[in-house]
Amino acid sequence: MPGQSAHEDEPGEEDEGGNGLRARKKLRTRRELRRAATRLYAERGAAHVTVQDICAEVGISPRTFFNYFESKDDAVFGLDHRLRERVVSGLLARPAAEAPLPALREAILAAVPAVVASDTEFARRRALLHTEPELLDRPLRNNRRMEEAVTAALAHRTGAAPGDLYPHLVAATGLAAMRAALRGWEPRSGAEGLTAALEQAFALLAAGLPVPPAGPARVPAP
């Protein structure tokens, strides 16, 4: 692999390396690369975009590109790495006496709006997955890695073995609520709208997923 991807050590874009001039420059370059890659994917299709194309948009060399991302797909979908680190670190920091699912809920509420709502390319990237379903492999791998990391954190909190059913079930349940909220979130509503969607998803989960009394998802009676 040409170069080491830097994002694995970054809990969030705004936290990258502190607040110095060099750190701010790296953060700006990373954001410019992500925006350029996502825009080019949307305009040309993923198959017709190269790393060189992305670099030309930002004015850097391919060698420099690989200091930030491991591939062109990583430049488009790599934010999930930082989201995973935020959720896991937040979960491990929750009070030990807190029940696992509420702890995961709070970790998700603290991490997801902060990371995702500030992502100006979220809507475009979501649309890409509809127009080019072959790109789904990367987000699916990200989801699997997120679930594995959350499962390990829950096992650590509860003293369960990582292979036990319980931490897997809690992780899968909480992350399913998160993904459902993200799927229905309108990016124009910002962090407040995303927080509300997440809270609603977890409230429905806590209530046992009762059928809503009305709404667009309700199937009308014959």
pLDDT in tens, 125-139: 999 999 999 999 888
Q: Are 36 and 57 in contact (CB under 8 A)?
A: yes
Compute the average pLDDT of residues 81-88.
91
Domain 6-75: what homologous superfamily? Answer: Tetracycline Repressor, domain 2 (1.10.357.10)
Q: Is the pLDDT of residue 216 over 80?
A: no
pLDDT band at 61 (very low <50, low <70, confident <90, very high): very high
CATH topology agreement for domains 6-75 and 78-206: yes
Q: Are 59 and 38 in contact (CB under 8 A)?
A: no
**Domain spans, the chain:** 6-75, 78-206
Domain 78-206: what homologous superfamily? Answer: Tetracycline Repressor, domain 2 (1.10.357.10)
Q: Between residues 155 and 214, which one has the greater pLDDT?
A: 155
Mean residue pLDDT across the chain: 88
Residues 6+ apart with CB under 8 A from 54: 33, 36, 37, 40, 65, 72, 75
Number of alpha helices (DSSP H) and beta strands (DSSP E) in the chain: 10, 0
Compute the average pLDDT of residues 146-168.
95
Q: How far is CA 43 from the centre of its chain?
A: 23
Token match 């909480």: residue?
Answer: 174
Question: Measuring CA to CA, how many Å separate 52 from each of 26, 34, 36, 47, 141?
Answer: 19, 14, 11, 13, 25
pLDDT in tens, 110-121: 999 999 998 888
Extended strands (E) in the chain? none
Q: Is the pLDDT of residue 11 over 70?
A: no
Q: Cα(105)–Cα(203) distance, rounded to whole angstroms?
A: 10
